[in-house]
Amino acid sequence: MTNPFSILGISDDVVNAVKDLGFETPTPIQEQSIPVLLEGNNDFVGLAQTGTGKTAAFGLPLLELIDFKSNKPQALILCPTRELCLQITSDIKNFSKNISGANVVAVYGGANIMQQLREIRIGVQIVVATPGRMLDIIGRKAIDFTNVKFVVLDEADEMLNMGFQEDINDILSTTPDDKKTWLFSATMPPEVRRIAKNYMDNPVELTMGTKNAGNVNIEHEYYTVRARDKYAALKRIVDFNPEIFAVVFCKTKLDTQDVAEHLIKDGYNADALHGDLSQQQRDKVMQRFRDRNMQLLIATDVAARGIDVNNVTHVINYSLPDEIESYTHRSGRTGRAGKTGISICIVNSKEIGKIRQIERIIGKKFTKADLPTGFDVCEKQLFALVHKVHNVEVNEAQIEQYMPRIMDEFAELSKDEVIKRFASLEFNRFLEYYKNAPDLNATDDKGGERGERGERGQRSNEGYTRLFINLGSVDDFTRGDLLSFVCNNGKISGKNIGKIDLKGVYSFFEVENATVDSLFNNFKGVEFNNRGVRIEKTADGDGGGERRSGGGGRGFGGGERRSGGGGGGYSGGRREGGSSDRRSSGGSGRREGGNSGGGFRDFSGRSREERGGSSAGKREGGSDRKRRS
């Protein structure tokens, strides 16, 4: 079968190289741009998010258009940051590994200029550069751009945000008038439009997704909290997402350092990335993050520019950016390479207006989400642990020798008892920490939101009925998944559905009153993973309150459906009152710190000291802890 990159016009050497990288089919941006750019006679504007495969979209055609027999610079790629510069260079080197004589140089600040000058002197066809250092080298008359045929301006909006407009003007003035300019940008503010107008001749314009819109794979959510509860809210979000791998954005270096230090002190696997760190320190932090040896990267906008790490599950806006446009760049750190991601804003009620502004810019609605209760977190962590125990890979050879002794230890206990004790090992610590956890949701008195409050005691919107469903995030549902599940099985349209409250083992959603009966009918006999799906009306006013009381021995809401062992369950009891029966089981006594932190992140059994996480300064140490998997 012909390779789809060959069909687009890419030669075999390059096709084989991208195949080695695991690129089997072109991404949408590659499919659209490559044939246009291969013509080589157009200026070009591509509106595209990061993570969409942009580098190959311009990199592959460039390799087809350059004469590698000549050692003169023929393509110049300008980008905003050192990280992006290194990334693009490495990508292009990989794409061109089968082309003999292909030379690419990375030109960026903060590194030895002599080495870069040496490489240029030896001869290169492609220069990838940040504007400041490029201008420095031009000023030294160390490079000749008279043979440049293509200039790529990557992340043009970011370059302008960072104040590189004049540098770009100066650099471009040293390149021939008849070169072709290819501009890529995530957003199209007037300044970028102006560049397109000033430097380009009738450019071909391609928009991937909606103009200025965020990546379609990203869900946007906001949580309203009182300013003083922000940090607690952050921790709660992290605790509710045991597998989180996130970038947390703060406005200032001080905040960044502060939040990172608090998280580390509280036992989370976090570190800070900001401009006060040396380049070497920044590289180390980024390497740990890239290797997934760190779960939470706390960063400023500037430091995080160009971060190219796949599989980031969440972007958390601990503070909103001053420049609303920066939101697109922040959220673009997740949802890369076709993956889904969630971008979260933690705001106070005065900032709702800014959320609306962002909605207008990205052309997408935010979901107003409620912070999970302490109970929800406990439940979520419990089932994460249960899943983990269930799926753990057993090293039969190694464990075999200990089995007789282990079995001996448990000889007196029933299977139920043993399971209960394993689950309690970590669960007790969460219960202890969250036993009196307050509701952190602040009443949102702006923006025309519903006047609901309270975790479960929510009233349904007028014209809507609030329903309980026994599915939730432990079933790997996102709000979007739940919406489609309800629509598909209930045979109703998404327009009939109001607010969705995704919880752990259950959720709530609103449906228009007129569709309730047919929904109930259609849901008869519906199953999910061989389990009957149950929907129930919640009494308005006390909403799921009945569930909260643990009435009918439902315990943790999900105990019944998972235990299968009558009465085993997790003996839920009351979720609110912190009743002593729930946190009995002896309390593990292993909760470090004992103060605000809780130190719940480490399931390895090591103490915080052993983990070496006492301040952000620890980053130099070699005690990195592997992210829990």
Nearer to ligand AMP, 215 or 515 (CB): 215
Q: Please identify, using beta-carbon distances, which residue of 29 and 385 lies nearer to ligand AMP.
A: 29
**What is the helix (H) or strand (E) element at residue 76, kind and residue range?**
strand 75-78
The CB-of-502 to ligand AMP minimum distance in angstroms stands at 28
Stretch of 18-26, 64-72, 227-235, 553-561 contacting ligand AMP, by CB under 6 A? 18-26
Segment interacting with ligand AMP (CB under 6 A) among 51-59, 105-113, 245-253, 316-324: 51-59
* Interface region with ligand AMP, contact rule CB under 6 A, candidates 24-32, 191-199, 299-307, 472-480: 24-32
For position 310 contacting ligand AMP by CB under 6 A, the verdict is yes
Q: Does 337 bind ligand AMP (CB under 6 A)?
A: yes
Considering only 17, 27, 236, 501, the residue that binds ligand AMP (CB under 6 A) is 27
**At 385, is the secondary structure helix, strand, or coil?**
helix
CB of 336 to ligand AMP, least distance (A): 5
Select 53 or 374, whichever has its Cβ closest to ligand AMP: 53
Looking at the Cβ atoms of 50 and 256, the one nearer to ligand AMP is 50
* Least distance in angstroms from the C-beta of 27 to ligand AMP: 5
Q: How far is the CB of 423 from ligand AMP (least distance, A)?
A: 38
Q: Which stretch binds ligand AMP (CB under 6 A): 52-60, 111-119, 446-454, 533-541?
A: 52-60
Q: Per rule CB under 6 A, is residue 52 in the interface with ligand AMP?
A: yes
Neighbouring-strand partners of residue 316: 248, 344
Stretch that binds ligand AMP, among 21-29, 141-149, 187-195, 223-231 (CB under 6 A): 21-29
d(CA 228, CA 262): 14
Minimum gap (Å) between residue 196 Cβ and ligand AMP? 20
| Nearest to ligand AMP of 120, 186 (CB atom) | 186
Cα-Cα-Cα-Cα dihedral of 249, 253, 257, 260, to 10°? 0
Contacting residue, 34, 37, 56, 104, with ligand AMP by CB under 6 A: 56
Q: Which stretch binds ligand AMP (CB under 6 A): 8-16, 19-27, 514-522, 562-570?
A: 19-27
As a whole number of angstroms, the distance between CA 379 and CA 190 comes to 48
In angstroms, the CA 334 to CA 187 distance is 16
At which residue do the structure tokens 């300019």 appear? 181
Shortest Cβ 277–ligand AMP spacing (Å) = 24
Candidates 17, 34, 54, 377: give the one binding ligand AMP (CB under 6 A): 54
Shortest separation between residue 79's beta carbon and ligand AMP, angstroms:
11
Q: Pick from 144, 153, 19, 147: which is nearest to 84 by CA?
A: 153
Sign (positive/negative) of CA torsion 119, 123, 127, 130? positive
CB of 51 to ligand AMP, least distance (A): 5
Q: Which is nearer to ligand AMP, 88 or 237 (CB)?
A: 88
* Residue numbers 467-486 binding ligand AMP by CB under 6 A: none
- Compare residues 51 and 557 and give the one whose CB is closer to ligand AMP: 51
Residues 6+ apart with CB under 8 A from 265: 593, 597, 613, 614, 615
Return the H-helix or E-strand segment holding 253.
Answer: helix 253-265
Size of the residue set binding ligand AMP (CB under 6 A): 16
User: Are 244 and 360 a contacting pair, CB within 8 Å?
Assistant: no
- Please identify, using beta-carbon distances, which residue of 33 and 319 lies nearer to ligand AMP: 33
CB 127 within 8 A of CB 120: yes
Under DSSP, is residue 417 helix (H, G, I), strand (E, B) or coil?
Answer: helix
- Binding residue for ligand AMP (CB under 6 A) from 155, 308, 370, 602? 308
Our finding on whether 26 is near ligand AMP (CB under 6 A) is yes
Q: Rule CB under 6 A: say whether 50 interacts with ligand AMP.
A: yes
**Residue 320, token pair as written in the block:** 């909103």
C-beta separation of 17 from 96 below 8 A:
yes
DSSP helix, strand, coil percent of the chain (3-state; round to 5): 40, 15, 45
Answer for which of 46, 51, 80, 598 binds ligand AMP (CB under 6 A) is: 51
Give whichever of 187 and 460 is closer to ligand AMP, judged by the CB atom.
187
Enter the tokens of residue 20.
């080695």
Q: How far is the CB of 14 from ligand AMP (least distance, A)?
A: 12
Degrees (nearest 5) of the Cα angle 85, 147, 29? 45
Rounded CA-CA distance 9/4 in Å is 9
CB of 528 to ligand AMP, least distance (A): 31
CA angle 310, 260, 249 (to 5 degrees): 50
68: burial class by Cβ within 10 Å (0-12, 13-18, 19+)? middle
Nearer to ligand AMP, 4 or 578 (CB): 4
- Residue 114 corresponds to which tokens in the numbers above? 């002599």
Among the listed residues 590, 629, 575, 597, the one whose alpha carbon sits nearest the alpha carbon of residue 384: 629
Round to whole Å and give the CA distance between 152 and 130. 12
Nearer to ligand AMP, 55 or 331 (CB): 55
Phi, psi of 387 (to 5 degrees): -60, -40
Residue 50 or 458: the one with the smaller Cβ distance to ligand AMP is 50
Q: In angstroms, rounded to a whole number, what is the distance separating the alpha carbons of residues 247 and 304?
A: 9
- Binding residue (CB under 6 A) for ligand AMP from 14, 32, 43, 53: 53
- Which parts of this chain interact with ligand AMP (CB under 6 A)? 22-23, 26-27, 30, 50-56, 308, 310, 336-337
